[in-house]
A = this chain, B = another copy of it.
Amino acid sequence: MPRAAGTGLVGGANAIDGCVVVVFDAMSQIVEIDAVESLAVVQPGVINDDLRAAAAEQGLWYPPDPASSPWSMIGGNVGTNAGGVCCVKYGVTRDYVRELEVVTGTGEVVRLGRRTAKGVAGYDLAGLMVGSEGTLGIITEIVVALRAARSPETTIAGFFDTLVDAGRGVAAVAAAGITPSALELVDRECLRAVDEWKNMGLTSDGNVLLLARTDLPGQAGEQEAEAIRACFEQGGASAAVVAEDEQEADALFAARRLAYPALERLGPVLTEDVCVPRSKVPEMLGRIEEIAGRHETRIANIAHAGDGNLHPLLLVPAGDDEAKRRAQVAFEEILDAAVELGGTVAGEHGIGLIKRRGLASEVSPGVLGMHSAIKKALDPHGILNPGKAFPDIDDHTARTEATLA
């Protein structure tokens, strides 16, 4: 099984019994940055932020920006199809992968995809590898598309009394035809945890914080920032401001950046990653609140609200087995609630070990059968990241064999 930086949150890179782990720390070379073709060739062990810095030196930009970007590696980002803050406007890792060198389950070395901007010769096997969590091949080289560096961003903040109001703020931005370069939500639990740690006075401004960014150039950016601010007011914000400068913008985004470490100060955190249609964000947050109450589990929420990708953070008091068990039940119920609302159990983190039951609740047996058929076709000996990303690979393989015989 391949393992990059191991920053994943679902156990996809945790070895099971008897598994050989292939690590990529020594394959950390940026092979090439081609400014004319706007692409980079990297080994799997390159740190996300290192690629971004190298691209920036040539006036280019690699958009996918998972929160783990200072530590996570491009190989792992490709394996999980990592997202991030700016993907509401710029898409996820798969949108940037052009070509992959892959070692297959039968030991062949193949190159999938191509360097050109377009191409439809054959199946999209490079796209299939992205997000397959190491179960279909081991990626040994990656060609990604880059974009031209963009204009500096402007930050807009809105404080809301209720989650429903914040949901209205998000809907108003969408209805205005605006695609911000970030649209993040931070709930009261997170604001309180940050306040308890850093004493920033966030909770005195409101219960829910929406943070948006625009990166349109010049006057267009100023106009979009003001339009987003107006949308927040329209949604019922108790306060809505456009940051005057980078310093103020950083202070506002600190609430988002510090939420996770602030919560971790209180004990172990179990991170969710559901994604629902964006109009269902308020209802999903309501369901999470109800589940938290019923299972006496403290749950905070940060969310990529613009694309409906929620990260409920379940606080699990250390050493309390009963509380841990309740949190685990709550975790599973949140997955089911997301599926009920037309969403998915995994927005950007993957299935790994801990969402295997969730996958089975989301995807039909017929679709699972197709997964198993493809897994068996490309990894006939079942040697690639065994035990991951399938509800129960043996059962489904058997089922597929029966269906497809």
Known contacts A112-B367, A130-B124, A275 near B220 by CB under 8 Å: no
Who on chain B is nearest to A338 by CB?
B116
Q: Which residues of B contact A91 (CB under 8 A)?
A: 95
Known contacts A117-B309, A374-B374, A377-B377, A277 near B37 by CB under 8 Å: yes
CA distance A343 to B119 in the complex (A): 8
A70 within 8 A of B: no
Contact indicator A127/B125 (Cβ below 8 Å): no
CA distance A405 to B187 in the complex (A): 54
Known contacts A110-B370, A342-B115, A404-B106, A347 near B377 by CB under 8 Å: no
CA distance A346 to B114 in the complex (A): 11
CA distance A161 to B360 in the complex (A): 61
Contact indicator B367/A120 (Cβ below 8 Å): no
Known contacts A119-B346, A378-B370, A279 near B36 by CB under 8 Å: yes
Q: Which residues of B contact A109 (CB under 8 A)?
A: 366
CA distance A160 to B130 in the complex (A): 41
CB contact list, A3-47 vs B, under 8 A: 35-38
A131 within 8 A of B: yes
CA distance A306 to B116 in the complex (A): 11
A247 within 8 A of B: no
**Least Cβ–Cβ distance between A180 and chain B, in angstroms:** 11
CA distance A275 to B370 in the complex (A): 32
Who on chain B is nearest to A389 by CB?
B122
Cβ 8 A contact of A114, one of B304, B309, B344: B344
Q: Which residues of B contact A355 (CB under 8 A)?
A: 121
Copies in the complex: 2
Known contacts A106-B403, A131-B124, A219-B220, A118 near B367 by CB under 8 Å: no
Contact indicator A351/B122 (Cβ below 8 Å): yes
Stretch at the interface among A48-56, A169-177, A289-297: A169-177
Cβ 8 A contact of A104, one of B81, B127, B366, B377: B366
CA distance A346 to B125 in the complex (A): 15
Q: Which residues of B contact A131 (CB under 8 A)?
A: 120, 123-124
CA distance A117 to B343 in the complex (A): 10
A364 within 8 A of B: yes
CB contact list, A366-404 vs B, under 8 A: 366-371, 373-374, 376-378, 380, 389, 403-404
Cβ 8 A contact of A347, one of B116, B223, B359, B367: B116
Contact indicator A121/B177 (Cβ below 8 Å): no
Contact indicator B276/A116 (Cβ below 8 Å): yes
Contact indicator B120/A81 (Cβ below 8 Å): yes
Q: Which residues of B contact A377 (CB under 8 A)?
A: 370, 373-374, 376-377, 404
A178 within 8 A of B: yes
Known: A122-B368, A122-B389. 8 other contacts (CB 8 A): A118-B348, A121-B351, A123-B374, A125-B371, A219-B219, A373-B377, A374-B378, A376-B377
A-B complex: 8 closest residue pairs judged by Cβ atoms: A148-B177, A117-B307, A373-B377, A377-B377, A119-B344, A121-B346, A110-B366, A108-B366
17 cross-chain CB contacts under 8 A: A36-B279, A81-B120, A87-B118, A91-B95, A104-B366, A108-B369, A110-B366, A112-B370, A114-B343, A119-B344, A119-B347, A120-B349, A120-B350, A121-B363, A148-B178, A149-B177, A380-B405
